[in-house]
Amino acid sequence: MNKIKNCRKINLTKIVDAHDGVLSVASAQNEIPFNIKRVYYIYHFESQKSVRGHHAHKCLEQVLFCISGSFCIKLDDGENQYQYLMNNPNEGLFIGNNLWHTMQDFTNDCIIIVLASDYYDESDYIRDYKEFKNYLNNNHFEN
């Protein structure tokens, strides 16, 4: 994964309380490298053939956690591609800006929670891969 620009794993501490479960905590500006302005979750996939994402963000940063089940995320920084299986509830994935991502192969019990650095803004999305490549080339990003 270290070949992909602007992306890294985030491991949360697991606090095991004997027979009473496991607690993991994510705090803004600590484990999460930004102030959290929006939290959303994705669940109840109708089919393992469901596909989400297919976009990049110009500014938004996110951390994804798969808190139940599993899914596969494909990442593309314009030069390198990487595929990663998300299946550990205390292991998140930081997805910075200018990073194309696609999620698929969801299990029936999959629940994804996303912590985002800003509020929803459609103008921040790049939803066409050719436009994404042109955006990167025209702006000469150094991630």
Residues tagged active-site: 55
- Phi, psi (deg, nearest 5) at residue 25: -125, 135
List alpha helices for the chain, DSSP H: 129-139
Nearest CA to 114 out of 39, 32, 12 is that of: 39
